[in-house]
Chains A and B, each alone.
Chain A
Amino acid sequence: GLEETFCAMRMKENIADPERADIFNPQAGRISTLNGYNLPILQALGLSAERGVLYNRAGTVPQWCINAHKILYMLRGRARIQVVNQNGDTVFDDNVEQGQLLTVPQNFAFMKRAGSEGAEWVSFFTNSQATNTPMAGRVSAIRALPEEVVAASYQISKEDARKVKFNNQDTYFFTSSRSERRDEA
């Protein structure tokens, strides 16, 4: 039986193929994920991976990984990455260039924005079902909170709380602002 199950287990998957993307935004970029669901051997290993591409000056929203450390290797281009710990201290705020590695510990919040030439990276997670919680956008933690809780927590008006919750309709990504694009032109 082993030959038919464990020995013949699928052990590879290409995640660089753009058609394979799980999250895609034509203006911002794409993310392909590989985890215990689409490559079952990863369940046994307790690991997973992600291949990401960000286009010119696009970014990923602030987020944290609830159940894994993330080890990011920059494949191409560069991105400015900010990482924040539990004390609200910025423990990393710099560009990560091609060939460099950065570890983001579990639960530390991070966001990244690509430079003008874009950025491509591969990230490894220390959990076969790594789960990220975005702080902004359509499936974010802020959006899941009641408007009144957001307003009371940040001491802002309900109208502003509504903007914070609903203005970004994208999932996971943000694109460079119009003013920035004008400046570049």
Chain B
Amino acid sequence: QEPLTASMVAAALPHEQKQMIGERLYPLVYEIHSQLANKITGMLLEIDSSELLLMLESPESLHAKVEEALAVLQAHQAME
């Protein structure tokens, strides 16, 4: 699978852009946390596309964001 580039994303329709990025992001998130991969990917997709593209290229920053999303989710669940 060829890497997703900013120009590929820019060429897509606005509602397709996040889906395109999500398709790449989901398997990576799934490797880190399979049970919450759908939820965590959905949370990460609210981040700017340009930042998401950088995260796809950087396992360290992706990992940090997944951990951050998990912490936010756990804090949210604890409040309910």
Q: Do A and B come from one complex?
A: no
Chain B positions within 8 Å of A, measured between CB atoms, are none
